């Protein structure tokens, strides 16, 4: 319906409210009808308020789309009533309900009122820091000259944020041992043995014909570092010779450092939303040898609450663990720049921006 005009003292004026006298008392009229001269049919020519009732569940509800273009732009008051037990939810994390199609200034004529007796619910945030879904579209960045009037006797619930992922465990380091032998061979060209020269008070070792432990003082020592990175050990005596020298089997060992990675942090929990329940974070994976395990993921947030941050990864013997990820922000319940709360006897949970 368009706007209604009446002539008052010869001047045409737009009708905002129309009253009629009943038993001497002026009372407001919500509708006005006129009889058409052509056929005598009654036609509605004035409506003070257009009321739309929502009695079944909806997804991605846009109030503008409930009205015709003429109704939306007219000066008539507009009211949308969401009945009890009705759930309005969103297919994305941006909004479950919007006053109008976004990205522009308020486009409705008159006033726009939302009476909520049901539940407007955002989506829950995904694990590892996903933000909770918005209940009423905040249309960030837009400046409106008028606000949606909100009467809430139900619930308006921003989704809970997802818990942050746990941090990675610290690095580890360990030594891998390599051992060869025992060997004993005094044949020229492939000799391998340990010799203690008693008369000269010195020892040496030969491995595959290489003198990696040159003769040095103290014939009684049983192990020495070689020039090739190995450590050589005297083993079982095989030949006492003529008493001036004894020959032994020889063993050699060396060690190499090996790095190991810390465990992956555990996943954070899911935030509460219409499509999922709230869950707790899980423990991190174990690390490699001497490395730290991953931190536990943070718990997901309940309705309108941020998710908890993930725990720092545990230290290894070669470094500390990294910090856990931040929890996801709670979903927006509404943006105060575009929504005016007239009354609230229900529950509103979530960020108010």
Model confidence pLDDT, tens digit, residues 116-144:
999 999 999 999 999 999 999 999 989 89
Q: Are residues 152 and 273 in the same domain?
A: yes
pTM (global) more than 0.75: yes
Sequence-separated contacts (24+) of 34-41 with Cβ below 8 Å: none
Q: Are residues 200 and 272 in the same domain?
A: no
Cα-based angle 71, 111, 334 (whole degrees, multiple of 5) = 115
Distance CA 251, CA 64 (A): 88
Q: Pull the structure tokens for residue 28.
A: 């407001």
CA dihedral over 112, 59, 135, 84, signed as positive or negative: positive
Q: Are residues 254 and 114 in the same domain?
A: no
Q: Are residues 286 and 144 in the same domain?
A: yes
Q: Are residues 58 and 125 in the same domain?
A: yes
Q: What share of the chain is helix, strand, coil (3-state, %, to 5)?
A: 5, 40, 55
Q: For residue range 28-68, list pLDDT tens digits in order.
A: 555 665 666 767 677 666 567 899 999 999 999 999 999 99
Q: Are residues 98 and 177 in the same domain?
A: no
Q: Examine the fold and report which residue of 259, 278, 305 is the final residue of a domain before the chain moves on.
A: 259
Q: Are residues 181 and 289 in the same domain?
A: no
Distance CA 321, CA 293 (A): 8
User: Which residues does the chain have with pLDDT short of 50?
Assistant: 1
Q: What is the reported pLDDT for 12? A: 63
Give the number of domains in the chain. 3
Q: Residue 83: which domain range?
A: 49-166+267-353
Q: Pull the structure tokens for residue 225.
A: 């570092």
């Amino acid at each position: 319906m368009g706007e209604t005009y009446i002539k008052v003292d010869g001047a045409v004026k737009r009708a905002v409210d129309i009253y009629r006298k009943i038993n001497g008392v002026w009372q407001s009229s919500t509708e006005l009808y006129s009889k058409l001269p052509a056929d005598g049919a009654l036609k509605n020519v004035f409506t003070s308020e257009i009321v739309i009732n929502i009695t079944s569940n909806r997804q991605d509800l846009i109030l503008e789309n409930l009205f015709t273009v003429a109704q939306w732009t007219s000066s008539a008051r507009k009211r949308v009533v969401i009945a009890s037990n009705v759930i309005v939810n969103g297919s994305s994390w941006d909004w479950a309900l919007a006053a109008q199609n976004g990205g522009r200034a308020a486009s409705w004529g008159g006033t726009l009122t939302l009476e909520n007796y049901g539940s407007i619910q955002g989506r829950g945030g995904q694990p590892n820091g996903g933000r909770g879904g918005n209940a009423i579209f905040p249309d960030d960045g837009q400046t409106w000259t008028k606000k949606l009037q909100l009467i809430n006797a139900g619930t308006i619930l921003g989704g809970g944020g997802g818990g942050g992922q746990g941090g990675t465990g610290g690095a580890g380091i360990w030594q891998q041992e390599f051992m060869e032998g025992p060997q004993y061979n005094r044949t020229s060209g492939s000799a391998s043995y340990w010799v203690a020269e008693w008369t000269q008070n010195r020892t040496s070792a030969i491995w595959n014909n290489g003198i990696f432990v040159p003769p040095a003082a103290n014939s009684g020592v049983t192990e020495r570092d070689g020039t090739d990175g190995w450590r050589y050990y005297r083993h079982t005596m095989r030949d006492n010779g003529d008493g001036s020298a004894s020959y032994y089997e020889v063993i050699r060992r060396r060690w190499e450092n090996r790095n190991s990675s810390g465990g992956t942090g555990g996943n954070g929990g899911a935030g509460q939303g219409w499509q999922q329940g709230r869950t707790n974070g899980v423990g991190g994976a174990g690390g490699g040898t001497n490395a730290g395990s991953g931190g536990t993921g943070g718990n997901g947030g309940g309705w309108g609450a941020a998710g908890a941050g993930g725990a720092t990864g545990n230290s290894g013997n070669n470094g500390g663990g990294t910090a856990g990820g931040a929890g996801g922000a709670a979903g927006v319940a509404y943006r105060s720049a575009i929504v005016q709360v007239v009354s609230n006897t229900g529950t509103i949970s979530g960020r108010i921006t």
